[in-house]
């Protein structure tokens, strides 16, 4: 069954580079970004984990916890962290899930249910659909999901932009227009419901 916006993010218990986490408990009252990778040591993913490590303070300022996921074991993850530090100059400090039984990938509909239950023998191509990003709110609801092809690196600055928009539009009756950026562009406030015979549309500065 596919996951949609406003569905409850599947809870899970998993081993990570920071020890065992119970996902919903680990999130607590924070927002979350869960982003997945088809295989450790793949070149595009290596640059992505390094890029996100550099931006982690920006996510923390927004009360967002970050967790990565790959189907490989903890021992591979730990070796990969050293490689990421060599390539990017920054060692990730967020946890990375070792989804060796493919359970989380299946729960989040990144792999079909009949795909087996072990990472062993699987290649990056076998796991190429494990390239998703989920933004999850404090209410444990999915606010955004994106899936990227293996050859295209993710833009984490765009995720920050989206989080800014989702957090603001969740608090106020507003909508952000195309290419909106916090503190740069204008915020579009839309209150227009033809069925209620209301028309009230104006602009205010983004905060």
Q: In what order do the strands lie in the sheet with 64-70?
A: 19-22, 13-16, 96-98, 64-70, 31-37, 132-136, 142-147
**201: pLDDT confidence band, cut at 50, 70 and 90?**
very low
Q: What is the rounded CA–CA span in Å between residue 74 and residue 97?
A: 8
Residue-wise pLDDT tens digits, 1-43: 589 999 999 999 999 999 999 999 999 999 999 999 999 999 9
Q: Is the pLDDT confidence value at 190 over 60?
A: no
pLDDT at 172: 80
Q: Which residues contact 142 (CB under 8 A, 6 or more apart)?
A: 3, 4, 5, 6, 7, 8, 9, 134, 135, 136
129 assigned to some structural domain = yes
Q: Which of 40, 45, 72, 76 is catalytic?
A: 45
Domain that holds residue 42: 13-152
Q: Which of 11, 86, 117, 139 is catalytic?
A: 139
Residue-wise pLDDT tens digits, 139-180: 999 999 999 999 999 999 999 999 999 998 888 877 888 888
The SS3 of residue 163 is: helix
Q: What percent of the chain has pLDDT over 90?
A: 78
Q: What is the rounded CA–CA span in Å between residue 14 and residue 205?
A: 43
Residue-wise pLDDT tens digits, 93-110: 999 999 999 999 999 999
**CA distances to 104, 162, 165, 175, 192 from 178, in Å:** 33, 11, 11, 10, 18
178 assigned to some structural domain = no
pLDDT at 36: 97
Mean pLDDT, the chain, as a whole number? Answer: 89
Is 139 catalytic? The answer is yes
124 assigned to some structural domain = yes
pLDDT at 1: 56
pLDDT at 182: 76
The shares of helix, strand and coil residues in the chain, as percent rounded to the nearest 5, are 30, 25, 45
Of 72-76, 95-99, 181-185, 198-202, which range is least confident? 198-202
pLDDT at 183: 66
185 burial level (CB within 10 Å; 0-12, 13-18, 19+) = middle
Is 45 catalytic? The answer is yes
Q: Is the pLDDT confidence value at 196 over 90?
A: no
114 burial level (CB within 10 Å; 0-12, 13-18, 19+) = exposed
Q: What pTM was computed for the model?
A: 0.88
164 assigned to some structural domain = no
17 assigned to some structural domain = yes
Residue-wise pLDDT tens digits, 47-78: 999 999 999 999 999 999 999 999 999 999 99
Q: Look at the chain and report how many structural domains it folds into.
A: 1
The SS3 of residue 155 is: coil
Q: Domain holding 85: CATH number?
A: 3.40.30.10
7 assigned to some structural domain = no
99 assigned to some structural domain = yes
Closest CA to 32 of 195, 200, 144, 165: 144
Residue 84 phi/psi, 5° resolution? -60, -45
142 assigned to some structural domain = yes
**204: pLDDT confidence band, cut at 50, 70 and 90?**
very low
> Is the CB of residue 55 less than 8 Å from the CB of residue 156?
yes
């Amino acid at each position: 069954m596919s996951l949609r916006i406003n569905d409850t993010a599947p809870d899970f218990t998993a081993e990570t580079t920071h020890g065992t986490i119970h996902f919903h408990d680990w999130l607590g009252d924070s927002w979350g970004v869960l982003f997945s990778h088809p295989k450790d040591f793949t070149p595009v993913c290596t640059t992505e984990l390094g890029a996100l490590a550099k931006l982690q303070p920006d996510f923390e300022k927004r009360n967002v916890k970050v967790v990565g996921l790959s189907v490989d074991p903890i021992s591979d993850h730990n070796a990969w962290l050293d490689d990421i530090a060599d390539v990017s100059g920054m060692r990730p400090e967020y946890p990375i899930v070792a989804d060796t039984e493919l359970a989380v990938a299946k729960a989040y509909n990144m792999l079909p249910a009949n795909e087996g239950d072990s990472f062993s023998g699987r290649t990056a191509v076998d796991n190429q659909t494990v390239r998703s990003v989920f933004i999850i709110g404090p209410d444990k609801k999915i606010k955004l999901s994106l899936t990227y092809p293996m050859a295209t690196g993710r833009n984490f600055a765009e995720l920050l932009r989206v989080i800014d928009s989702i957090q603001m539009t969740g608090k106020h009756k507003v909508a952000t227009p195309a290419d909106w950026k916090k503190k740069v562009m204008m915020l579009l406030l839309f209150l227009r419901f033809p069925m209620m015979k209301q028309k009230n549309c104006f602009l205010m500065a983004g905060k």
